[in-house]
Amino acid sequence: MMPNDPYNQLVRDCFSDPQHAGDLTNEYQITSAATVAESVAGDRLTVTVGIDDGLIAAARFRADACPHLIAAAELACTGLENQTIGGLRDFDSHKIMRRLSVPPEKIGKILVLEDVLTTLAQQIEQSIQE
């Protein structure tokens, strides 16, 4: 990082070429999406997961958000694929924040991602029970 550069290379890579941006295109046994909006700055994040045989087969996101949250969503979607549903609850935001060198004033933004994944886990668990 150059002096004054608020973004490390991983943030720049995830921001400029997010592989998991967009919507799911295939059919899955379970498809679930959750959106959380942050009230102060107005950031919005949607994560959609497609589940087959208890595994997250695909994850995609959409965001109207800062580069750090976009990069965090990209890393989270990458990490969720091929995980069990429990992976949504086991999401380690601190690990992602360290990888992205998220500055302290941005930590609240990453919590938006945590909230989305928690909501997704609740929705999926509920739909399985039903």
Q: At a CB cut-off of 8 Å and minimum separation 6, what does 95 contact?
A: none
Shortest separation between residue 80's beta carbon and another protein, angstroms: 18
Q: Does 110 bind another protein (CB under 8 A)?
A: no
Cα angle 61-63-69, degrees, rounded to a multiple of 5: 95
Q: At a CB cut-off of 8 Å and minimum separation 6, what does 74 contact?
A: 14, 15, 18, 19, 20, 21, 61
Closest CB to another protein among 39 and 129?
Answer: 39
Shortest separation between residue 101's beta carbon and another protein, angstroms: 15
Shortest separation between residue 95's beta carbon and another protein, angstroms: 23
SS3 24: coil
SS3 39: coil
Separation of alpha carbons 64 and 82, rounded Å: 26
Sole window of 56-64, 83-91, 93-101, 120-128 interacting with another protein (rule: CB under 8 A): 56-64
**Residues 16-55: x where in contact with another protein by CB under 8 A, - otherwise, as a string:** --x--x-------------x-----xxxxxx---------
**Binding residues for another protein, per CB under 8 A?**
6-7, 12, 15, 18, 21, 35, 41-46, 62-67, 70, 105-106
